[in-house]
Structure 1
């Protein structure tokens, strides 16, 4: 019977593997949330009359963070429409 019992090591290994899997899933959800945030911030900035300051205040980010999103997202998307299309394609 003692041979059928899982060792303490095996129990901890299995728990660690499950924790690592949860961590990877959480990281992917966080990445998807950042993409969605960036797309929406870009869409807000593309709205007539919007500024870094108004967008930052409305979503609770710093102006420098909104500017960073704008700069980095422009490297990936030509315009807000492309950003929205990406969002729809990836169901974010």
Structure 2
């Protein structure tokens, strides 16, 4: 402290700490949203008559993105039932 006031360094440090905490929180919310998105895409793909193209068009993603979600999300969810169970548990998301 200089003359009873906080130094500029201390103010910037405190602001940086707050920004880092907000960034961590935003990253966690993004991760959760991505997991829900992947589960929804898998559930859509598991419905009768669904294709990469129809799902992509319905949700506004490219077919390659839907294919990527399909490939990578299956490592987390072994079946559409697991994806639906996840959605049921996280229905407030």
TM-score scaled to structure 2, two decimals? 0.89
Structure 1 residue runs of 5 or longer lacking an equivalent are none
In the TM superposition, what is the alpha-carbon distance from 1:12 to its structure 2 partner? Answer: 0.3
In the TM superposition, what is the alpha-carbon distance from 1:81 to its structure 2 partner? Answer: 1.1
Structure 2 residue runs of 5 or longer lacking an equivalent are none
After superposition, give the CA deviation of every residue in 1:21-71 in whole Å (9 maximum; x if it has no partner). Answer: 001111111111100100000000011000000000000000011001111
RMSD of aligned residue pairs (Cα, Å): 1.5
In the TM superposition, what is the alpha-carbon distance from 1:76 to its structure 2 partner? Answer: 1.6
- In structure 2, distance between residues paired with 1:73 and 1:85: 14
* Paired residue secondary structure (1:30): helix
More helix, by proportion: 1
Point out 4+ residue stretches in structure 1 off by more than 6 angstroms. Answer: none
Aligned to 2:63: 63
Aligned ranges for residues 37-52 of structure 1 at < 5 Å?
37-52=37-52
Number of paired residues?
91
Q: Choose 81-90 or 32-41, whichever is displaced more.
A: 81-90
